[in-house]
Structure 1
């Protein structure tokens, strides 16, 4: 039982809300029963369970390292408005590039945690093999990203990497790269001949996909929408594109 906010372990856990410390320790915090359950069902490594003193640990979790804390200590660590009394320290999954992926989502500098969370959930739902978060994208282990994924992040490979490497890989392995864009040269989504092996490239909320990356795409596509609708949220747009591709492959 830990009752002091000044406890050494409590201070270390609290630091995990900062990217610098997450990178140093290669660990991060998750909070809430659903996220903890999804992490435990996956192949990710749970380092420590943290539970409020009056909560009971499920019997099937009895083998796990569990530390109980007071209500005050838990509130000190919590990032939610209505804490559920359970969180966990999870080891980061350091995935490396492997030439086995045929359905790829490439994400260029998307900065909103909610959008990244939506993309991850949709990629899992529509059978994407891997998600690559490029430079400028929000950190995968940001508290708000984790919550927005609703546990989907534990069930699909996600790599934070240089998109240039992945575009080159696709070109060398006959994987079509489809960039999303609003320029006049883009094809309407319902006019695109979709291949079995593909990469969908989506971009920043304000600027879209970098022009350097778009120039390397095999085709650029857009979603036909009502003429008075200026654009779609990038998370929603990504979901629509991935669903459309899933129907045709």
Structure 2
């Protein structure tokens, strides 16, 4: 049993709470039974597990390398209030853009990890083929982002790209592009829906960058019927994605 927070493996994993270390090591942490089981079931590369003494490894989890850790080590590594007794050391992997895609969600500068994670989860639920996120967006492997996806990170390709390069590629491949904004816009359920459709949503405060919005074929808006100034970006993305699937 690993009982010291000064253990080399524990120190390595603790560093993965920092974005620069995740990038340096090309690894990140998964915490909790649901996320770990979902990752393993999807074939995501898991290097090893750390489990508490009373955690029962079953099914596919039992075939993975593991170390038993004491409660103080678990609390040292955990970012949740009530740790479930399992933390996985996972490897990052490059995700390919699906060649036969017809529905894609594009995030321009979505900074909040919870919003990005919820958008990925909703894209998975709506049957979208991929999520593309660009400059200024939250770190995909931030713990809050990963937890907010509720495992959908392991179901749908999520790709980081330069949107100034990726959007022209999508348009060349036959995608019609919606941009969510207010200026010179049409109500979203009146917009043209083509065989291939990409939807851009933007930064929580500033919206979509002008140079990105200029690439949209149609500007769409979601009407506000009450007194709220705006919709949360993840909610707006969900409304647009489900409309696109009709």
Q: Aligned ranges for residues 139-150 of structure 1 at < 5 Å?
A: 139-150=139-150
Partner of 1:240: 239
In the alignment, the residues of structure 2 paired with residue 8 and residue 193 of structure 1 have an alpha-carbon distance, to the nearest angstrom, of 56
Partner of 1:88: 88
Counterpart secondary structure, 2:198:
strand
Q: Please report how far the alpha carbon of residue 161 of structure 1 lies from its aligned counterpart in structure 2 after TM superposition.
A: 1.2
Partner of 1:229: 228
In the alignment, the residues of structure 2 paired with residue 55 and residue 96 of structure 1 have an alpha-carbon distance, to the nearest angstrom, of 35
| Cα deviation code 1:72-112 (max 9, x no counterpart) | 01110000011111110111121245644321111000011
> Which moved further from structure 2: 53-62 or 7-16?
53-62
1:41 maps to 2:50: no
Q: Aligned ranges for residues 30-179 of structure 1 at < 5 Å?
A: 30-97=30-97, 99-179=99-179
Q: Please report how far the alpha carbon of residue 189 of structure 1 lies from its aligned counterpart in structure 2 after TM superposition.
A: 0.8
Using the size of structure 2 for normalisation, the TM-score is 0.96
| Cα deviation code 1:13-50 (max 9, x no counterpart) | 00111111111111100101111111111121111111
Paired positions, count = 246
Partner of 1:180: 180
Q: Please report how far the alpha carbon of residue 53 of structure 1 lies from its aligned counterpart in structure 2 after TM superposition.
A: 1.4
Is the CA contact 2:108–2:137 (under 8 Å) kept in the aligned structure 1? yes
In the alignment, the residues of structure 2 paired with residue 82 and residue 116 of structure 1 have an alpha-carbon distance, to the nearest angstrom, of 24
In the alignment, the residues of structure 1 paired with residue 144 and residue 39 of structure 2 have an alpha-carbon distance, to the nearest angstrom, of 16
Q: Please report how far the alpha carbon of residue 190 of structure 1 lies from its aligned counterpart in structure 2 after TM superposition.
A: 1.7
Unpaired stretches in structure 2, ≥5 consecutive residues? none
Q: Please report how far the alpha carbon of residue 71 of structure 1 lies from its aligned counterpart in structure 2 after TM superposition.
A: 0.4
| Cα deviation code 1:200-231 (max 9, x no counterpart) | 00000001111111111111100122053321
Unpaired stretches in structure 1, ≥5 consecutive residues? none
> Which moved further from structure 2: 1-10 or 60-69?
60-69
Q: Please report how far the alpha carbon of residue 59 of structure 1 lies from its aligned counterpart in structure 2 after TM superposition.
A: 4.5
RMSD: 1.2
Q: Which runs of 4+ in 1 moved over 4 A?
A: 96-99
Distance 1:122 1:38, change over 3 A: same
| Cα deviation code 1:168-193 (max 9, x no counterpart) | 1122122101100011x111112111
Counterpart secondary structure, 2:105:
strand
1:216 maps to 2:215: yes
In the alignment, the residues of structure 2 paired with residue 83 and residue 227 of structure 1 have an alpha-carbon distance, to the nearest angstrom, of 40
